[in-house]
Amino acid sequence: CCTVPALLLLAGCGGGSSASSAQPAASGIQERTIKAGIGLNQDHPEGKGLKKFAELVSQKSGGKLKVQPFYDAQLGDDKKMTEALQGGLQEITIPSTSPLVGMIKEFGIFDFPFVFHDEKEADAVLDGPLGQKLLEKLPEHNLIGLGYWENGFRNLTNSKHPVVKAEDFKGLKIRTMQNQVHLEAFQALGANPTPMAFSEVFSALESKTVDGQENPLATIKTSKFNEVQQYLSVTKHVYTPFVFLVSKKFWDKLSPEEQQILKEAAVEAGIYQRELNRAENRKALEELKNAGMEVNEVSEEERANMQAIIKPVIDKFAKEFGEDLVKEMYDQVEKARQ
Ligand code: KDG
C-alpha cells in the first residue's frame, strides 16, 4: 500500500459531493461530454497531463465519458474558466492557485516565495493534511478539488539584463500573475510588476509592454518566451501548484461510479504530469541555452537576501491568511526536510 501515492489516498476521501438541488444519477455511467480547459498549450506537461486524463477517463468509462480538452486559454484565462465552473458552464479546469486567491484567500500561502527547497517538500505539503484542508474549502465556492498538479519553481526572464542580485530587479517591468502576494513581493524588490492573464504574456513581451515575466522552465520553453527574452535568471523564487477543479454543479449530477472515475483519473494523470514536468524542467535549461538565452544561476546567498527583503510582505500576508495555517505549512516543510 505504501507505493500508493498519497495523492491517490487523498482523492479517495476528498471532494465528496454534498446535498444539492441537482438530481444525482443513482448509479451507472451515462454518455457525457466534459469540457476541460487550461491556459497552457498541448506541448506543456500540463497539456500532456490533460490528454492523459482524457484517455484514462475514456478507458475507465468504456468510452462513455468523453473529455474534450481545450488548450491555450481557448475557453478563457484561469479566473474566467474557474467562474465558468462555478456557473456550471464548463466542467473542468486546472489553474494555478495564485489567481484564485481573491476567491479562496488561504491559497495565498502557496504564493510565499522561498518556502520549498525542492519538489519533494512541495508534494509533502500539497498531498498532506494542509493541501487537503484547502481543497475542502472549495465546495462552498461551488468547486470540487481533486488534487494538485505541478506548475513548479518559477524563474525570471527579461529583455534588459541578467538578474544576479536583488538590486537588479530595480525598475524592471515584470508581468506577474493576478495575485497580491506576487505583486507586493516584486514591488518590495524594486521592480515594477504588472498583473496580466497568461494568454497575453507573449505579445506583451514581444511589444515590450513589459520587460520580463516569471514562470517555470517548462513554460518558458513550451511558450517560446526565449524568442522574445534574452536573459534567464534561475531565481527559483516561488513554487506554485496547479489545482484540479471540477464544477460542483456538474459533480453533483454524477453517479458515485462516475465521480470515482474522475477522481482516479485526475490522480493518475497528476502523477504522470508531475513526473513529466520534472523531466522537462531538467532538460529545458540546456535547451533554452542552446536556443540562445543567456542563463545565470542565482546564488543561495542572494536568494536569502531577496527573501529578507520580501519578509515584511510575507509577515503582512501571513496575518491575513491565518498565522496558524502558515505555521502549519512551515512545520510540514520542516518535517519533509528531515
Ligand atoms: O494553465 C495554467 C495557466 O493558465 C497559468 O496558470 C500558467 O503559471 C501560469 C501563469 O503564469 O499564468
106-165 per-position pLDDT tens digit: 999 999 999 999 999 999 999 999 999 999 999 999 999 999 999 999 999 999 999 999
Nearest-CA residue for atom 6 of ligand 1:
96
Q: Is residue 313 part of a domain?
A: yes
pLDDT, tens digit (0-9, with 9 covering 90-100), for 50-91: 999 999 999 999 999 999 999 999 999 999 999 999 999 999
Helices 300-321 and 180-188 cross at an angle (nearest 10°) of 140
pLDDT at 24: 76
Grid cell, residue 301, equals: 546567498
Which residue CA neighbors atom 3 of ligand 1 most closely? Answer: 39
Distance 106 CA to ligand 1 centre (A): 19
Of the pLDDT bands very low, low, confident and very high (cuts 50, 70, 90), residue 7 is: low
E strands, the chain, in order: 32-37, 65-70, 92-93, 143-158, 173-176, 192-195, 212-215, 231-247, 294-297
Mean pLDDT of 205-211: 98
Please report whether residue 19 resides in a domain.
no
pLDDT at 269 exceeding the cut of 70: yes
10 CA from centroid of ligand 1 (Å): 24
Task: Find the mean pLDDT for residues 208-233.
Answer: 98
Mutate which of 100, 198, 199, 223 for ligand 1? The one with the most ligand atoms within 8 Å of its CB, which is 198
> Could you tell me the distance, in angstroms and rounded to a whole number, from the CA of residue 146 to the centre of ligand 1?
18
Instruction: Give the per-residue pLDDT at 26.
Output: 74
Ligand 1 atom 12: residue of nearest CA: 198
pLDDT of residue 305: 98
Report CA(96)–ligand 1 centroid distance (Å): 6
CB 277 within 8 A of CB 45: yes
Domain count for the chain: 1
Residue 21 lies in a domain: no
CATH number where 175 lies: 3.40.190.170
d(CA 23, CA 291): 54
Which atom of ligand 1 is closest in space to residue 214's alpha carbon? 11
Domain assignment of residue 118, given as a range = 31-337
pLDDT of residue 22: 58
Backbone angles phi, psi at 24, to 5 degrees: -70, 145
Q: Which residues line ligand 1 (CB under 6 A)?
A: 38-40, 46, 78, 95-96, 151, 177, 198, 215
Strand partners, 192: 173
Predicted confidence (pLDDT) per residue in 15-33, tens digit: 444 444 457 777 799 999 9
pLDDT tens digits for 281-338?
Answer: 999 999 999 999 999 999 999 999 999 999 999 999 999 999 999 999 999 999 999 8
Asked whether residue 11 is domain-assigned, the answer is: no
Contacts of 173 (CB under 8 A, 6+ apart): 191, 192, 193, 194, 209, 210, 211, 212
Is residue 17, in this structure, part of any structural domain at all?
Answer: no
Place of cell 465521480: 259
Any domain includes 41: yes
Residue owning the nearest CA to atom 1 of ligand 1: 39
100, part of any domain = yes
Is position 243 within any domain? yes
